[in-house]
Chain A
Amino acid sequence: DTGVSQDPRHKITKRGQNVTFRCDPISEHNRLYWYRQTLGQGPEFLTYFQNEAQLEKSRLLSDRFSAERPKGSFSTLEIQRTEQGDSAMYLCASSPPTSGRSSYNEQFFGPGTRLTVL
């Protein structure tokens, strides 16, 4: 099975530390998305890439957050100077290229990285 994978699955860190998460999308999926989900809420969009280009960033993504997708394959999400409010599940999703009349394709989600900031 070559679904979306994320690493690590869990991360515990102290406030002020930097953390980096990795996402490997499904092969040949050109779009990659990052979402954040806090307890009891639905996921919130953070950013997305089409190939290596970062096309949109949410206002939720403060300047402490940075995401990259250098070769249009895997992506990393880095959080600098973590705060307790950053504790959440970080979800990655990917979708294949659109074709024909369809302007939107299903997003396939990874298992997430659960971040706990102490």
Chain B
Amino acid sequence: GNSVTQMEGPVTLSEEAFLTINCTYTATGYPSLFWYVQYPGEGLQLLLKATKADDKGSNKGFEATYRKETTSFHLEKGSVQVSDSAVYFCAPAWDYKLSFGAGTTVTVRA
């Protein structure tokens, strides 16, 4: 069946450090791929998306590339800020349903 595996946290970084959160999926088809973010006390928000192979999604300095060969969609940011502290969820979509990873808690220290 379809499934998603996300890098476990928590992750603690200093400001301006490089962040990467790994996400891989297993699927019989080619899902659309999403990263959602949940800031403290707020609801889920879409961070970025990619709908076909080699697409790169980007937003707020974050990037992720749809890698069909490795069935991966790793999230990266070159220089994190304290305001990036949040829980990040990788979420492939099959048949209109999102399948969320367990989430990775990221804390950025000043």
Interface residues of A (CB under 8 A from B): 31, 33, 35, 40-45, 48, 56, 91, 93, 95, 102-104, 106-112
Contacts and interface: CB of A to CB of B under 8 A. Distances in A.
Contacts of B25: none
Dominant secondary structure of chain B at its interface with chain A: strand
A5 to B, nearest CB: 11
Interface of B: 6, 32, 34, 36, 42-46, 49, 51, 89, 91, 93, 95-103
A104 B51 contact: yes
Nearest to B36: A109
Contacts of B89: 42-43
Contacts of B99: 45
A109 B42 CA distance: 11
A31 B96 CA distance: 9
Contacts of B98: 33, 35, 43, 45, 93, 107
Contacts of B49: 106
A63 B1 CA distance: 24
A42 B91 contact: yes
A44 B100 CA distance: 7
A108 B100 CA distance: 14
16 contacts: A31-B96, A41-B102, A42-B91, A42-B101, A42-B102, A42-B103, A43-B44, A43-B89, A44-B100, A93-B44, A95-B96, A106-B46, A107-B98, A108-B46, A111-B42, A111-B43
Contacts of B6: 42
A35 B45 CA distance: 14
B37 to A, nearest CB: 11
A110 B93 CA distance: 18
